[in-house]
Amino acid sequence: MAAAPVLVWFRDDLRLADHPALAAAARSRRPVIAVYILDESTERPLGGAARWWLAGSLEALASGLRRHRVPLVLRRGRADRIVRALLKETGAGAIYWNRRYRLAAAGLDDRIAAMLRRQHVEAEIGAGDLLFAPESLRSGSGEPYRVFTPFWRACQRMPPPAMPLPAPRRLTAPGAVPRSERLEDWGLRPTEPDWAGGLRKAWTPGERAARKRLTAFLDSGLADYHRRRDLPSDAGTSRLSPHLRWGEISPRQVWHAARGAKHGASAFLRELLWREFAAHVLWREPDIAERPLRPDYARMPWRRDAAGLRAWQQGRTGYPLVDAGMRELWATGFMHNRVRMVAASFLAKHLLLPWQAGEAWFWDTLVDADPASNPMNWQWVAGCGVDAAPYFRIFNPALQARQFDPGGDYVRRWVPELRALPGRALPAPGEVPDYPPPIVEHRAGRRRALAAWARIKR
């Protein structure tokens, strides 16, 4: 009698290597049916750029599984109902998946695990995509960390993250395959209009592309990362964030690969732990995309300015570094981290518009829009999150441009109206045809922001 198959439920872990659930299924030697469920009832609905990436990542995953003659079954709807239906359709004797460190996902996992116990179906939940589980790190008082530097030090005292698992050498193909929905019917990619041409030019989703990008960064970027990471015109960052967001590569793989390098790992691994810190914050604060973590900031007298928000979104603020970043974002689904901070500060402080509006725009336009990192970084810039920059720290876009884009190469690439200007003129270009004047004067915007901050502190 043929062995009952095992379902492997893929989520934000769209890879074959270092996949605990898939590795467990391979060890069982039972036929494997892989499934991906698009469930937007318990998770925040994806933005447009993230949906585009997900489509490519699922295609890449399906291709990798086909080499093992294992199908990737696609279903859309409530995950608990679909799991129940798949168990009935396939007669599976087990279902394996990896943990996700979000309260909604944890609640879903608990409900499904309870249902499986009632049906006497084996369930195995593998380690999730974090270096350290949130419950494993506590401060001296027993509370979760709310400041990054002590968190980082605590991580350094922990046992090293587990070594990544190799991709299975062999998977057992199933005899029968349940019905799968068609990826193209999910409408993840834009069609009319097709705005994703810049994304296709800039990115290749999938596990193979993630490994290739990591290798290239280790070979040519890691040693000088601490010097080059703040220069937006320089390819000095890893650009691994969307691959990590979708689990095409795991933090463990990145961690151990970087630790094995000879030079430059410290600054890069610190950034990887900042990502970890954000995930730990989300674990205990599931509504960080809407609610400021510092309660007094709920009283901030935000302005309503639809025209100002639109100018910021379109890269028409009159501040070249801000505009270059916003145009890079629209064209490629990505923005250099230094410029993200400047652009976010401009919205929340110069324009005094709610940080939630900026976070929502980034969520829709970033290919690496992460449910933890995106809102926590916005709260950091706005001054209302854990370990946040103080509100009175207001980036001067012109000074930031002079410091981090001194030759103007980044601005010239994304703001073609200014290409003819010399580098020294780019931070404050003056009157230029087809380029708008500043929508708010720097000193006036700074004064307004500080006055609003003082008001909520009284």
Catalytic residue numbers read: 271, 274, 302, 337, 355, 378
Distance from first CA to last CA of the chain, Å, rounded? 75
CA separation (Å) from 163 to 17, 159, 211, 308? 11, 11, 16, 49
Rounded distance, CA 450 to CA 348, Å? Answer: 11
Question: Across the strands, what pairs with 34?
Answer: 8, 72
Rounded distance, CA 32 to CA 172, Å? Answer: 6
CA separation (Å) from 257 to 29, 215, 260? 30, 9, 5
Rounded distance, CA 1 to CA 130, Å? Answer: 39
Q: Which helix (H) or strand (E) holds 94?
A: strand 94-98
Rounded distance, CA 220 to CA 226, Å? Answer: 13
Q: In what order do the strands lie in the sheet with 6-10?
A: 72-76, 32-38, 6-10, 94-98, 122-126
Task: Count the Cβ atoms, other than its own, within 10 Å of residue 188.
Answer: 19
The percent helix, strand, coil of the chain (3-state, each to 5) is: 50, 5, 45
User: Of 243, 189, 192, 193, which is closest to residue 215 (Cα–Cα)?
Assistant: 243
Tell which phi-psi region holds residue 345, choosing left (phi > 0), alpha (psi between -120 and 50) or beta: alpha
Is there a contact between 215 and 194 (Cβ–Cβ < 8 Å)? no
Task: Count the Cβ atoms, other than its own, within 10 Å of residue 371.
Answer: 23
What is the 8-class DSSP label of residue 349? I
